[in-house]
Structure 1
Amino acid sequence: MDSCLVDITIEFLAVAFHSILYYTSTYPESIFETKKKYNIVVYRSMHPELNQYIDLCLKSIAECLKTGQLKRLEFAITDNTYKSILKFIFDFDHMDFYDETADAYLIKTEQNLRAFCLKLATLSNKFTNLPQDGSFTIYIHTNESTAVAMASKPDLEDFPLVEMDDKYEDSDKILPIRRFSVRNCCIDTYIEFAK
C-alpha cells in the first residue's frame, strides 16, 4: 500500500478508535473534545497518556499496512479482568487488481469514512450496560515475519508487540457496520458481542 493510502487509513483508524472509546463510555466524556473530520463532528481524547498509547499502536499498524501484511484489527472493549465484552473488527482484504481511475480524488472514500462514523454514533445505544471500570485492548493480526521485522525497528523498540495464543472465541452475535475500500484495500467493519 502506498504511503498516502497508509496515511488515510491510519487517520481513519485514529478517528475510529477515539470514537469507539467515546461512544462506549470507556473513559469519561470530560476527557474528549470535539473535532471536525470528514465534514462531521467526531470526538478525540485530550488525555496525553491515552493518546500516546493509541499513537504507538497506530505506528505499529502503519508498519503492517506498508508491507500489505495486516489481516485484521480488533479493538476490544474489556472488563476489569481484561476479558473482551465487545470487539470492533476491521478486516483488511488487499486486492491485486483495481481500477486506479475509480475514486481518483478519494471522494467516495471520504463519504465511506464519514458514513462509518455516523453509523457508529447511531449504534451507541447498543453499548449500554458496559462496566464502569472497563478498558480496551488492540489486537493486530499479521504474519510472523512482519512481527519480527517490526521488533528490529529502532522507532518501535519501546513498544514491543506481544504474541497472543491462537485461542479465538467465535461470536454468534455480530452487527455489521460498513464495508468500503481505500483504493486497493477493502475494509470490512463489524462488531462482535461476547456470548
Structure 2
Amino acid sequence: MDNCFSDLTQEFLSVAFHNILYYTRIYPPSIFETRRKYSIVVYRSIHPEVNQYIDLCLKTIAECLKSAQLSRIEFAITNNSYEPLVKFVFDFDKNSQYDETADAYLIQAEQNLRAFCLKLTTISNKLKNLPEDCSFSIYLHTNESTAVAMANNPDLEDFPLVEVESKHDELDKIFPLRSFSMRSYNIDTYAEFSFDT
C-alpha cells in the first residue's frame, strides 16, 4: 500500500467524520472548534470520548489500508434502535491506470478533499429532520482474513472489531457527494437517507 495514500486518507477521513458529526448535530455545536484544512474552515470535536472513538476507528482503518483490504467505510447516523437513518459512504476502488507522475504535488487531491467538505455544508439542511436521540457507528467493509489479523494485533486489542450479523439494505435516497482519484485509488462518496429530506 502506498503510505502517502494511507496518510492522506486517514487525515481526510478524520476531517470528514468530525464535520459529519458537526453538520448532523448529534452533539451540540459547543463541543466543536474551528480549524483550517484544505484552505477552508472545518470543524473538530473537543470531546475526549468522541475523539478517542474516532481515533481508534482511524487506527483500525489505517491497518486495513496497509493491507489494501478496505473496500468501503460507512459512517452511519442511527436512531435509538441503532437503525441507520443516514449513511455517509466512502467506496475505495484500486485504479489500475494510476500514473505516479500525475498530481505529484497533491494539488488536485487537496482540491477534491476541499470540494467534498464544501459539499457537506450544502447538504446540512437535509439533515434537519433527524431525531434528537441519534447516535453514530462506523462500519468497515473488509475481508475475513484482515479482520482475523486485526483481532490478533496487540496494537488494536483495546478496540476489537465486531462483525455485523445483519445486513442493512441501501436506504431510500442517495445523494452523491464527490468522486475523485487520490494516488492509486478512486474514491466515491455519497450519502444515503432513509427519511424525507
Structure 1 residues 143, 186: CA separation in 2 closer, same or farther (over 3 Å shift)?
same
Check whether the contact 2:94–2:186 (CA below 8 A) recurs between aligned residues.
yes
Match of 1:113 in 2: 113
Structure 2 residue 82 is the aligned partner of structure 1 residue 82:
yes
Separation in 2, partners of 1:44, 1:118: 15
TM-score (norm 1): 0.97
1:166 Cα deviation from its structure 2 partner: 5.0
Letter matched to residue 20 of structure 1: I
TM alignment of 1:87-166, pairs within 5 A: 87-166=87-166
Separation in 1, partners of 2:16, 2:126: 17
3-state SS of 1:36 partner: strand
Letter matched to residue 40 of structure 1: I
3-state SS of 1:159 partner: coil
Match of 2:13 in 1: 13
Match of 1:52 in 2: 52
Separation in 2, partners of 1:95, 1:102: 13
Where in structure 1 are there 5+ consecutive unaligned residues?
none
Separation in 1, partners of 2:28, 2:168: 30
| Percent of matched pairs sharing the same residue | 69
Q: How many equivalent residue pairs?
A: 195
1:2 Cα deviation from its structure 2 partner: 1.6
Letter matched to residue 151 of structure 2: A
1:165 Cα deviation from its structure 2 partner: 2.1
Match of 1:169 in 2: 169
Q: Deviations over 1:39-62 (max 9, x none)?
A: 000000000111000000000001
1:168 Cα deviation from its structure 2 partner: 2.7
1:194 Cα deviation from its structure 2 partner: 1.4
1:192 Cα deviation from its structure 2 partner: 0.6
Where in structure 2 are there 5+ consecutive unaligned residues?
none
Separation in 2, partners of 1:168, 1:20: 20
